[in-house]
Amino acid sequence: MVWNPHDLNPAIASIAKGRTIGSIAIKLDNVSKQFEGASSPAVASLNLDIEEGSIVVLIGPSGCGKTTTLRMINRLIEPTSGRIVINGEDVTQRPVAELRREIGYVIQQVGLFPHQTIANNIATVPKMLGWEKQHISDRIKELANLVGLEPSLLERYPDELSGGQQQRVGVARALAADPPVLLMDEPFGAVDPIVRTRLQDELLELQARVGKTIVLVTHDIDEALKIADRIALLNVGGILEQYSSADELLAEPANAFVEEFVGEDRSVKRLQLRTVADLPFHQGPVIAATAGAAAARNVMREYASEWFGVTSQDVFLGWVHGDDLQDETPLESVPRSVPAAQVQPDSTLRSAMQIIMTSHTSVAVIDDGGRFGGVVTLELIRSSLEEETGR
C-alpha cells in the first residue's frame, strides 16, 4: 500500500509532512538589508534553509537583525538584495496580502489592539478573509482552548489580561487562519520564568499537534536550546555565526563569539538536552535475587562497590549494603535501603548527575512499571558527551 499523508486527518498529515527530511519550507538566499542612512547593514548576506515542520530559533545580541530578518520573510521589510523563497516560490512574486495569510506573525511586545476585545483581536485575520460569523466564533473558541485561554477572558480588553495571557492571545491571533508558517518575535519575552517555562512547554506540545514551520526570535539561550530544532546565532550586522542543532552549538561552537554567547557551562547545558534513555545499557552491581550471596560479593568486588542492587523478575527491589549481607538469608529478604537512588528513562542527564552527586550508591534506571533498565554512572554520562553530536 502506498502511504499517503492526505489520507490522514489534516493535523496529523501536516505533522507527517513536516517530518519529510530535507524538505525546505523557507530559504533565505544571500539576503541583505541596508536601511537608508545606516552606516552598516542590519542583515548581511544571510543564508538559511528552514525545514518544513521544524522550529528554527534566531538568537543574538540586541540590534543584530533578528526582527528585521523575520519581517523580511513576510515582506513587512523588503530586502536590499538576495531572495526569500517559501515552498519553492520567491516571496516577491506573491501578492503581499496572500503571502501574509499563509504566515502567522506574533510581534515583539505582543501588540494586541487595545480597543478591541480579546475575541476580536483573535478574529483579525479571519475577519479580513471574510469568514462567516459562526465560523469565526467557532474558530475563536477552538483557538482559546488550544492556547489555554479561559473562555471568560474573550470579552475582556487586552489591558485586563496578565502578560502571560496576552502572549497566549498573540499566539492564538497568529494561528487564526491556520497558516503553515509562524513567525514569533520574542513571544515569551514579557513574562516571568515560571510562566515562560509553561508557555514554552505548551508551544512544543502545540507544535507536536499542528506541525507548523516556526521561526522564533529570543534573547534567551536556554529557551533556544530547549525548543529549537536548529539555532541561528547572529552577530551585530546580521552576520550568521553558526547555524546548527542545540547539541552541536554547545559541543562545537564555531568561534569565540559563539563560545562566549552559549556560556562557560556548555557541557552542563548539553546534559540537559539528553536523557538517560540515550545512554548505553550498563548492568552495574545489580543481580537477580535468585543469584545468592556469593554472587553478590563477586559483583561488589567487580564494581568496587559497597552496595549492590537486587532485582526480582526484572523489577528493581532496592540497594543492599554489603554489611547487611548474610550467607543464610535469601537476597530477597536482606534489609534494603529505600531505593531512592533511581532515575527514569526520560530523566535528563543533568538530573541524573545531580542524583549521582548526592547519593552513595549507583543510580538505577527504573521505568514506570518498576522494571530495571541498567545503572547510570558519572563515567557513562561523561563518555556520552564525547560521542558525535546527533539531532
Q: Is 372 helix (H, G, I), strand (E, B) or coil?
A: strand
Which residues partner with 342 through β-bridges?
A: 364
Residue 356 makes CB contacts below 8 A (sequence gap 6+) with 341, 362, 363, 376, 377, 378, 381
Q: Is 373 helix (H, G, I), strand (E, B) or coil?
A: strand
Interaction partner, residue 35 (ligand ATP, Mg ion, none; CB < 5-8 Å by kind): ligand ATP
Please state, in angstroms and as integers, the Cα–Cα distance from residue 224 to each residue in 118, 176, 227, following that order. Answer: 29, 25, 6
The residue assigned the cell 522564533 is 216
Minimum distance from CB of 189 to Mg ion (Å)?
9
Instruction: Please choose, out of 56-64, 96-104, 197-205, 206-214, the segment that lies near ligand ATP by the rule CB under 6 A.
Output: 56-64
Residue 26 makes CB contacts below 8 A (sequence gap 6+) with 48, 49, 50, 73, 84, 85, 86, 181, 213, 215
d(CA 209, CA 380): 34
Query: Closest CB to ligand ATP among 42 and 365?
Result: 42
First to last CA, the chain: 30
- Residues that bind Mg ion (rule: CB under 5 A) add up to a total of 1
Q: Is 129 helix (H, G, I), strand (E, B) or coil?
A: coil
Query: Closest CB to ligand ATP among 186 and 248?
Result: 186
CB 210 within 8 A of CB 14: yes
**Taking CB under 6 A as the criterion, which residues in 108-167 touch ligand ATP?**
108
Interaction partner, residue 281 (ligand ATP, Mg ion, none; CB < 5-8 Å by kind): none
Interaction between residue 67 and Mg ion (CB under 5 A): yes
Pull the grid cell for residue 9.
Answer: 486527518
Query: Closest CB to ligand ATP among 65 and 374?
Result: 65
Q: Which of 44, 57, 59, 67 binds ligand ATP (CB under 6 A)?
A: 67
**Taking CB under 6 A as the criterion, which residues in 24-53 touch ligand ATP?**
35, 38, 42
Minimum distance from CB of 106 to ligand ATP (Å)?
13
Interaction between residue 72 and ligand ATP (CB under 6 A): no
Minimum distance from CB of 243 to ligand ATP (Å)?
16
Interaction partner, residue 93 (Mg ion, ligand ATP, none; CB < 5-8 Å by kind): none
Site string for ligand ATP, 6-25 (x = CB under 6 A): --------------------
Q: Which of 10, 63, 370, 390 binds ligand ATP (CB under 6 A)?
A: 63
Minimum distance from CB of 238 to ligand ATP (Å)?
7
For Mg ion, the nearest residue by Cβ is 67
Interaction partner, residue 86 (ligand ATP, Mg ion, none; CB < 5-8 Å by kind): none
d(CA 17, CA 115): 39
Nearest Cα to Cα of residue 218 among 174, 257, 188: 188
Nearest Cα to Cα of residue 334 among 363, 371, 295, 367: 295
Interaction between residue 62 and ligand ATP (CB under 6 A): yes
Minimum distance from CB of 64 to Mg ion (Å)?
9
d(CA 81, CA 87): 20
Interaction between residue 79 and ligand ATP (CB under 6 A): no
Instruction: Please choose, out of 59-67, 129-137, 313-321, 343-351, the segment that lies near ligand ATP by the rule CB under 6 A.
Output: 59-67
Interaction partner, residue 120 (ligand ATP, Mg ion, none; CB < 5-8 Å by kind): none
Minimum distance from CB of 254 to Mg ion (Å)?
23
Pull the grid cell for residue 152.
Answer: 471568560
Query: Closest CB to ligand ATP among 35 and 113?
Result: 35
Interaction between residue 66 and ligand ATP (CB under 6 A): yes
Instruction: Please choose, out of 66-74, 225-233, 264-272, 331-339, the segment that lies near ligand ATP by the rule CB under 6 A.
Output: 66-74
d(CA 187, CA 220): 11
CB 181 within 8 A of CB 103: yes
d(CA 191, CA 87): 34
Interaction between residue 224 and ligand ATP (CB under 6 A): no
Nearest Cα to Cα of residue 175 among 123, 229, 128: 123
d(CA 12, CA 222): 29
Interaction between residue 65 and ligand ATP (CB under 6 A): yes
Interacting residues with ligand ATP (CB under 6 A): 35, 38, 42, 62-68, 108
Interacting residues with Mg ion (CB under 5 A): 67
